[in-house]
Structures are given as C-alpha cells and as structure tokens.
Chain A
Amino acid sequence: MLTDLYIPGDSLLHRARPAWKLAILFLYCTALFVVTHPVVLTLGLLLVALGYGAAGLSPRDAFTAIRPALFVLVIIFAAQLWLAGLSMAVYVTLRLMALLLAAALVTYTTRASEFTEGIMALLSRAPAWVPKDKIALAMSLVWRFIPLIRAQFDEVREAQRARGLERNMLALLVPLVVRTLKTADEVAEAITARSLD
C-alpha cells in the first residue's frame, strides 16, 4: 500500500466511479464487521480475490498491500491467540487482511486526481471559507510523496548500510528528516512557481 498507491490499468474497476467504489468499500467493511460468521468472511475474501483478478492485479500486488501491516497483524494474531484461542485469532487476522486488501484495491484502481475531484465534488456545498483547492492539492501531494519519501528512506538505508551504520537509528532518521524537510521546501516553491494563485 505504501509503494504504489495507484497501478495504471483499464479494467472495469479502474473505470468505475470513485464515489461508487468508496461506497461499496464502506458497505463491505461494515458487513464484515457486523456479521461475524465464517461464511461471510470466506465470501468476503473470495470477493476481494475476484476484485484483484478483475483489476488485473497480481498476488504480489496484494501482498505489497498488506506488507506494511504485517507486523501489526502478527501482534494481533498473537494477542488473540493468547486471549481467545486459535480459531478466533485466525478469524480476526483474516478479517483485518480482507479489509486492508479491499481498501488497497480501491486505491490501486483510482487515480489521485479522481479522488481529489471526488473530494472537490463533496466539498462543493461547503461554505466559501473552506479552502477547497488547497484540500484537494494536499490530498494529491500525499499520493505523490509517500512513494518519494519511501524511496528516500531506502536510499538513505542503503547508503548507511554501505558505511556499516544500518542499525543506527540516528544515522537513518537524521538524513531522512533533513531530506524530507528540504524536499517540502522545494516542493512548496515549485507549486508556487507552477500555479498562479
């Protein structure tokens, strides 16, 4: 979910209206939480797998989507195992995975500009003092810069590994924070230069 928020394609899911996708995602999540039954969960997992297939996404894309959360999933699994037993632990973990996969399916198939347009449409009734353009721009910047910051992190880690410092938190964080701040400055400047307001 962190490396690629959008994967270009031309499937039905790619072409569907973002508002519909979000509405279905909402229903999907609610259903999985409200109806606690293995059959519903199985159906839910099946549905999400079908969705990935229909969107032309690979199992690797699916794994990429849950990889950042693996650590949390393991902790939840362990806690449930200890508190409620094996079957509950499996159930809860799988359900969380289904939700993550479904959310990623929506971001995988929706362009940032579609999201921002959707948000703009939702905000069209908001009062005039709400900075609609700025909110939309901030949203698209998140889309653009999560991968960039992640790439910077990988670069810094590689450079520090070459110097034998990969276990030193400070050696990783200081350059990353400095670069991120500098990036933010330059980006703000570029936005000023590229837009007229």
Chain B
Amino acid sequence: MIVSVINRLVVAAITLVGVGAIVFVLLRVVPGDPIAMMISPGASPADIAALRARYGLDADLATQFWMWLKALLSGDFGMSISLRRGVLSLLAERLPATLELAFAALALAVALGLFLAVLGTLARRTVCEPLIDALNGLALAVPDFVWALALVLAFGVFVPVLPLSGRINPSIDEGFVTHFYLIESLLRLKLTAFADVASHMAMPVIALGLPLAAVIVRLLKEALKEAMVQDYVLLARLKGMSELRLILQEALRNAIGPTLALTGVQFTFLIGGTVIVERIFSYPGIGNMAVDAVINRDLPLIQGLVLMFGLIFILVNLAVDALAAFFNPRLRHG
C-alpha cells in the first residue's frame, strides 16, 4: 500500500516535470515574442533588451529552464508578462472559479447520467428505451460550445432569464474571503449571492455537463444491460428483489468500472472544454485566462497554467483509481 502510494507520487512528479519541460521548450521554439506584444511601436532596441533581461529571456534555453525550475521549487511561478502580477496569485484567484464550474458540471453529468442509465435499464424493452437512446445519441453528437451557443439563444435572448456573462453581479458585495464564491456564499448562507452566482454558472455548467452526461448514459446503460443477465442477478431476482433494487444493489457496482474510468478521462477533457466555454460566457476562470495568455505569448503564465492542468489531470486519475477500488473488491490489495 505505502509502496504503491510512493510509486504514484514519483510517477506524478516525473509527469509534471516532463510536462513542464515540454511546454517550456515548445513555447520558446514556436514563433511569437512576448516582448514584442507588450512594447509600444517607438521603443528603442535598448528598451527591448532591458525588458528581455528583466523577464530572463536573454539567457540560453537550458539556463532559462534551470532558473524556472529552481524558482518553481521555491514556490515562485514567476511574473505574468501581460498582467504584471505573480502567476501563482493569478492562478489562486482564477482556479476556484473554474473548479466550481467543472465540478458542478461533473455533478450534473453524473447525476443526470446515472438517473437516465438506470431509467433506461428499468425501461428496457418498453417504448421509453428507444426514446432515451435517441435523445442520448443526439446529446452525444453535440459538443459543449454548441450547447453553449444554443443556451445563449434560448435563455439569454428568447427567454432572457439567465445572465449572459460574468460570474457574479458586480453590485453584490459580500466581502468574500475565498474565491470559491458558490461554496462560500452557501456556507455563509448569503442566499441572494448564492442564487446570483448559481444563475451565472447555470448555462456554462449545462453546456459542459450535457456531453459528459450523454457519454455516461451510453456506457453505463450498456454495461447495466450486460450485468442484468448475469446469474447472480437472476438468483437475486428469485429472492424477490425489485427491479430497481436489482439494478442499484446487484448490477450497478459491477457495471460501473468502465464508466468510471472513462468519466475520469472525459472529466479532464471537460476541464479543457472550460477554455472555450468560459470564453463564450466571459467567465473569469483559468480557461478564459489561458486564451489571453496564449494570445499575449505570456510565457510564465502559460507555463503556470499548463502545470496546473497537469496537476489536475494527475489528481483526477488518482481519484478515479481510488473509486474503482472502492467499487471492485478485486482491485483492492492489502
């Protein structure tokens, strides 16, 4: 157990350093100069050289990488060139917004996916089943940004009930101490603020969550169908269990493995999807910031963001493995 934990930590560290190195080199090889993006047209070569030196861009590649790594290990992620602020504090400010969005979308996808997969299994061989399958096929074919645009049309334009952009109405000032507005407003029972934050999140969350929900329904329903004809389900049915109980108690835990693994992978895609969805809704998370960082060739910020995405990816995978072991006793070793 301890050995496998240490193993995983080592692998995680190597992954992060690897991701960091690749991005570092890549960013400096592709054309595009961050200094050129920030200077005014009349700047003298001396000014430019001074700026390059200030951001450490004048040294050779190996030295630059070494300096960056050394700084990282002491917790210094560098300064954003375009925003002129520490990368770490920028991430700390923006990441909570994206995390709330991503986990809300995950929660929606899991709840909706589970519900429809179980309903579809209950309704197998009735007229409801092809209906669920057809709707699901449709949902599978539509990507998140198309949902986003459709939602904007529906609830922003035709029936304007939801705010189109931002995270919170600027007139609401609750003096938040964290950047987790949704959670904090709920815990502090600031219900007006909570409702406002939730209504801002509604459209991006639905846009991000629906495609994942569709994947879960498709995979889980198929696996449940297979599990429901196993001998142990037959025996349990003989004992007099209801269909719903057969699905939830007997079939689900054995059917969920592949869905869980794929949901983990899809969740990291979902976090990738926040980049464009946050852009559409001007939602102040790291996705939106990433677009600006790339446009501005803001190397330190891009590096920080990529490391952040890498860390999230690693943590999601750890969580998926832990959950898989929880559901499948054969995966647990002492």
A binds B: no
- Please list the residues of chain A having a beta carbon within 8 angstroms of any beta carbon in chain B: none
